[in-house]
Chain A
């Protein structure tokens, strides 16, 4: 596809369950970013990848959150033992490189609801 895609688009889960969110970046984009947007709040940075490496994990809220990227393509964000405060829209973006001088292209997001 031409743009960044994310799946699932919506996920409802019970507190304590693990969830996996997927991001397919634009082909050829080496940089990939994960963000979170809680209801009524601004965007928060979670993690970024340069290739398959994640040099900056400082935004991950807790050790229940992890992410990986393989083949310089697909990335998965995993949340273990979900809590209600994890409810948010999780957005993925990709760009040609990690320099701030490149436009980021955003996916449609995954809306996560933890009951």
Chain B
């Protein structure tokens, strides 16, 4: 069965802390996406990865194809980073299979 698991489900941290959110999947994939869903519900695509590492500002995403694992890191976290972060993968077809999300709360 094609599955996507995220951890932790909830994460609370102090402003400035380094944040790591993990995503594991069950079988080989063609691509992995990290999405951010704000409290108002809007969804923004952060990264699309098929290998290696990508960086955008304070956000870094890595993927290890052999271990079927990806991580999303946030450096110097800020309250405005508070959101739900969602991992989603393409299991070789066109539809996305979503993880259950990680709710991140950054306390000032």
Main secondary structure of the interface of B (DSSP, over half): strand
Tally of A-B Cβ pairs under 8 angstroms = 64
Segment from B16-24, B38-46, B57-65 that makes contact with A: B38-46
B13 CB within 8 Å of chain A: no
Interface residue tally of chain B, by bracket?
20 to 34
- CA A74 – CA B43 in complex, angstroms? 20
Chain A interface mostly: strand
**Mask of A77-111 contacts with B, CB within 8 angstroms, 1/0:** 00000000000010101000011111111101101
Whether B43 pairs with A100 at a CB distance below 8 angstroms is: no
Closest to A47 in B: B95
Cβ–Cβ contact A100 & B90, under 8 A? yes
Q: Determine if A43 and B86 form an interchain contact, defined as CB atoms under 8 angstroms apart.
A: yes
A59:B41 contact, CB within 8 angstroms: no
Contacts of B90 in A (CB 8 A): 100
Known: A43-B88, A59-B95. 14 other contacts (CB 8 A): A45-B95, A58-B95, A98-B94, A99-B30, A100-B30, A100-B48, A100-B94, A101-B48, A101-B50, A104-B33, A104-B96, A108-B41, A108-B42, A109-B42
Residues of A that sit less than 8 Å from B by CB: 31, 33, 35, 42-45, 48, 50, 55-56, 58-59, 89, 91, 93, 98-106, 108-109, 111
